Amino acid sequence: MNILLLAPLLVVVFLGLLLAGRAQVAKGTNTATANGATLLTLAVVAGVLGLAVVVSLDVW
């Protein structure tokens, strides 16, 4: 996979997980909050991976 395609894909995954996690936490029930926290944790992992990909591009 081309790395220039991977970076925007990771950004989309990050934003999707971030929005989905926030929506789950906003529901307020215990299960939804736990699911939202899991999604937000995955969003952080995807965001860090995306940042690492962008930093490694060397096309600044």
pLDDT for res 31? 93
Q: Is the Cα torsion angle 29, 30, 36, 37 positive or negative in sign?
A: positive
pLDDT band per the 50, 70, 90 thresholds, residue 39? very high
Tell whether pTM > 0.85: no
What's the rounded Cα separation, in Å, for the pair 34 and 43? 14
Q: Which residue has the higher pLDDT, 58 or 20?
A: 20
pLDDT in tens, 41-55: 999 999 999 888 888
For 42, residues 6+ apart whose C-beta sits below 8 A from its C-beta are 17, 21
pLDDT for res 18? 94
Taking a C-beta distance cutoff of 8 angstroms, is the pair 54, 7 a contact?
Answer: yes
